[in-house]
A and B are shown apart, each in its own frame.
Chain A
């Protein structure tokens, strides 16, 4: 557990670069005939019935969420999914994997390198029309978003076409500098066409690109296949780029509201750290997570959980259903089911609603509150109920939480008050008041006395497989957790 270590080493553990999870596998018999069952399809041509690659990708992504070690990698992968806002649904699964893989590799990597790589990533070239950007007919879509959303960000419009940090002239110039990148025609290809982009010098504008005074009137000379890197260098020379990025990190990890005080006391120093470390993200995260501000009362636990956080915070403390050997196919199906849950809660991980990402991170004034509505709260409760109830199954195969394993993982499950206190520490970010705890306890004991709990629970620990003994305990635990997961407090982290 993290809190048993010193803060410093705990944060180091949290932010360290983690190994990349193995790629998704073919999980279903009778599909994807060019790929062996249990082997990955990420480099295999599309031959025959391949539609289960989408399910495989979904299952893989969500099983990683449930099973990965305590680390920022998954959280940063979603940070990037939101940051670049690519909607690339129902496309070639290999290209979807490709950018998820990029996000995993760069989870806590270098911001500037990330921008360089995303600029020529096939899904991004497709999503923001970079692949059609031609010297004779420049497409400004990516150039515009590169500045407006991904790096320096749009400032106040101070004159016609002048957004403080850049101008329309810069959009035009950058679009020209970024011409020439193409995708191989890999989409669903049944041959070995690489899932990759390439530089076509014939489509590239070799002329000088004059930037505005916002970039000190710099001129971009023809740099061919490396010109996009020069573009990024120039944008990264502006301090506003690092500030904008640190605001995004703050908004994702801390709170949506960035006051003047936060701007001066948090964002500015973080941005300086980012620049001083050549845009490495880890030092920034370390500074953020070890800052007094991070532990300040006002923002602690004030983020409404997104659907991923909701699902993982609900299941990961139970170690999900990993005590059951579901086998390859069912395990992927279960992962894909979490994807379905997340979709129902308005987060389709590969289908960002706009290039700005999810409203929770960009739409003032509601921000995270976008995750909550009457219908979404009902769905949250229904999903929680399904996860904890006895009749839960995956396509007919019953799955139940590992109640005995969970009880045994607690330090003193026989002392019911102590046990509840420990559970609330695990599942909630702040304390409940005494009357709420008392109601939860009523849900658990349902008339048992504390002493009877000792008797029943010891019997359960001794004979967890005896239905007559286990049922009174597990039934009560189910009730208790349904009540806990239905609390407004559980929606916060």
Chain B
């Protein structure tokens, strides 16, 4: 069963199935060498800031004060209060937690993210952001749901299974997040309080009538069973999990992230969690009594406090190479203020990516704020939101860019966003280790024997371990080496399915080298 699952996945993703291993040119790009299989334990946390976050008061372009003071006289953040992240850019004064994350290299700011032909309706634009469609298309499935559909075709039929006992997605709250809408059903198990799930009465699984009533009844009974199974693993993970920091109180985002951290630490293998915070529709009294206080300041403090507590917790739990966070809001706001100490619906806005593996820094240029910008102008888009999503799929879930194009859009442009933890495997050229060994690229012969050319300075041992795409050790042994020769490492065991594997080798004196092995 496992094998079948894996092959299905492999087929869907078109994993390379090149017979001669040595012929595989492992490029340096993280796309090819991360070897993070779809079934890895990496987690994405989507933070939805509903209402249209005002980007210009969140991420402040310090080189634009001539314009800002003109077009936002009552709303702009004073230069001296803004929290600098570099010479040109600063965060809102209430975002100290995220400023620290930036200094620690755990925060990436993506500037002016949006899409062409911005729709300024909350609902329609939310649909676009969650479905990953263009402004002109109605797409019923969610952007992450389409990815999950590739991993779990046919869901929910047959789930949970012994291989996939955990829900693929969890939405905190009552509503399954639209980004997780799959072809058949939303992948999210909604969880209001993982400490207190509602168990349904066990469904009677007796035979049902052989007609439409019977088939519908079977469907409902199966869902009941699935609900209870997922609730059971969620409860178990919540019980086993823990938090290592005290989260800020009176902060609904922190309340949710706290439970997410706890579920992950308790061993839940769910791939995506969604959390939600409203309150960003700041048409009026966005700032009061001064520009660093008011509704928007409170919301941003909530975001920053919650996310920085979460990041600290995740790090202390030893999970920060497994957890990536992403914020989004359905649009940014206008460049000019309105007449009510607020801002109206606009266009592009910043996104934050956070976690131990993000490439910390800033992507995109500062927003240009022209003093004569028209009242109706929003922040123009620099980066298509689907390129952010797609780059996350590439960097974080090792989805091939050809599939990303199919899932999101044909014009997909990759940006290195979260590849810091991805292992860089050497290409096919020989590697010289610190202790003077030369290790070639593994290759195979027709009898599925994996061989490697090694040159060792003395007679010694080479230890090796083979890991599958999920990082599980599948094979380990050692061989004796002496001088330069082609050595046989092992013959591919029939139990190992097709796919990519990581071969780790260690010389007698402990220098390590990593190579990729692909089984047809």
Contact = CB atoms under 8 A, between A and B. Distances in A.
A299 B212 contact: yes
A377 B212 contact: no
A375 B190 contact: yes
B372 interface: no
Contacts of A430: 209, 213
B216 interface: yes
B206 A374 contact: no
A489 B217 contact: yes
Question: How many of chain A's residues touch chain B, expressed as a range?
Answer: 35 or more
B1 interface: no
Contacts of B174: 344, 375, 379
A301 B189 CA distance: 27
B190 to A, nearest CB: 3
Interface string B177-214: 00000001110111100000110110110100101110
Nearest to A344: B174
Contacts of B204: 433, 435-436, 487-488
Interface in A299-318: 299-304
A298 B212 contact: yes
A373 B223 contact: yes
B212 A302 contact: yes
B197 A378 contact: yes
A492 B215 CA distance: 11
B401 interface: no
A242 interface: no
Contacts of A488: 203-204, 217, 220-221, 224
B295 interface: no
Contacts of B216: 302-304, 368-369, 492
B188 A301 contact: no
A363 interface: yes
B140 interface: yes
B213 A492 contact: yes
Given A87-B123, A483-B201, A488-B204, A375 B217 contact: no
Question: How many of chain B's residues touch chain A, expressed as a range?
Answer: 35 or more
Contacts of A87: 123
A462 to B, nearest CB: 33
Contact of B200 (A257, A366, A378, A492): A378
Nearest to A300: B213
A359 B183 CA distance: 12
Given A87-B123, A366-B184, A374-B189, A302 B200 contact: no
B226 A374 contact: yes
A299 B209 CA distance: 11
A87 B138 CA distance: 15
A327 interface: no
Contact of B213 (A257, A302, A375, A378): A302
Interface string A117-156: 0000000000000000000000000000000000000000
A382 interface: yes
A115 interface: no
Interface in B113-167: 123, 138, 140, 167
A372 B190 contact: no
A491 interface: yes
A381 interface: yes
B274 to A, nearest CB: 12
B186 A373 contact: yes
A373 to B, nearest CB: 6
Contacts of A304: 216, 220
A370 B182 CA distance: 12
Interface string A338-374: 0000001010000000100001000100101110111
Contact of A377 (B140, B217, B224): B224
B51 to A, nearest CB: 13
Nearest to A366: B184
B227 interface: yes
A297 interface: yes
A366 B213 contact: no
B227 A302 contact: no
Contact of B211 (A297, A354, A363, A377): A297
B29 to A, nearest CB: 39
A375 B206 contact: no
A429 B217 CA distance: 12
A438 to B, nearest CB: 11
A354 B189 contact: no
Contacts of A300: 213
A379 B227 CA distance: 11
15 contacts: A299-B211, A299-B213, A301-B213, A366-B184, A373-B186, A374-B223, A374-B227, A378-B200, A381-B201, A430-B209, A430-B213, A433-B204, A483-B201, A488-B221, A492-B216
- The 3 A-B residue pairs whose C-beta atoms are closest, nearest first, are A375-B190, A302-B212, A374-B227
Given A366-B185, A430-B213, 4 more contacts: A302-B211, A359-B140, A373-B223, A433-B204
